[in-house]
Amino acid sequence: MTPSNADSTGCTTHLTQTAGRSTDGAMAAMWAGLLLTVVATLAPYVDRVSGHVLADHIRDGYPRYGPERVGHAVTAWLVLLTAAGVLGILGWAGSMWAVRVDMAWARWTATSMFVAGTAVALTALLTKDTSGEVGLAPLLGWLGMLPAGAGLVTVGLLWRTPSRSGTQT
């Protein structure tokens, strides 16, 4: 029999350490993914005040852009990357919660988040703009891919563990 406990609503949740099943490795990978997502989300802001990799990339692709127009393009990227980062952080948090409380659908949720996050990161990394170059500076695009690596590890670890029997109420 699998150890379980009932919460205040009467719902039964299985403990994350059940007979032969541990999600410690997956949780560690998810914490790493969450941290990498935060880093990838903040990196463009650090770049804006110090490195100017994104601004230089835009200026190189559009040499006729003045400083104001380059600034607007950088701001547009910051908005897009921040929105993607916030959604990624929420996806990690939701997946971590589902795994921690051992919800029956946790593996599917984590897999869906991995596929969606990887698709967004690849789109940002590979999509060319009207200049013929990729729109996002490659350094920032590759930083955005790092959480996908943690997602791949997470999904692999979650699917390696045996499925628990029973359902949530």
pLDDT in tens, 76-129: 999 999 999 999 999 999 999 999 998 999 999 999 999 999 999 999 999 999
Kindly list the domain boundaries of the chain, sorted by start residue. 23-160
**Rounded Cα distance, 49 and 101, in Å:** 41
Cβ pair 109, 139 in contact under 8 A: no
Q: What is the pTM of this model?
A: 0.81
Q: Which pLDDT belongs to residue 15?
A: 37
C-alpha to C-alpha distances, 144 to 90, 99, 106, 107, 116, nearest whole angstrom: 16, 24, 24, 23, 13
Nearest alpha carbon to residue 21 among 166, 169, 160: 160
Nearest alpha carbon to residue 92 among 77, 120, 112, 78: 112
pLDDT band at 18 (very low <50, low <70, confident <90, very high): very low
